[in-house]
Amino acid sequence: MEFWMYMFRWIHFFAGVTWIGLLYYFNFVQTPFFAETEPGVRSGAIQKLVPRALWWFCWGAMFTFLAGIFMYLYYLVQSGAPGFYSTPYAWGITLGGTLGTIMFLNVWLVIWPNQQVVIASAVQTAQGGQAIPDAANRGRRSGLASRTNTVFSVPMLLFMGSRHLPPFFGEATSGNATMFAVISAIIIIAVEANALSGLQGATKKPLDTVSGALWFGFILAVIFFVLFWFCFHM
Highest mean pLDDT among 34-48, 56-70, 117-131, 158-172: 56-70
pLDDT at position 97, please? Answer: 95
pLDDT at position 164, please? Answer: 66
**pLDDT tens readout for residues 176-199:** 889 999 999 999 999 999 999 989
Note down the domain range covering 28: 2-233
pTM (2 d.p.): 0.94
Q: Evaluate whether 165 touches 35 at the Cβ level (below 8 Å).
A: no
Q: Which residue has the higher pLDDT, 50 or 198?
A: 50
pLDDT at position 218, please? Answer: 98
Task: Report the pLDDT averaged over residues 121-141.
Answer: 94
Name the domain count of the chain: 1
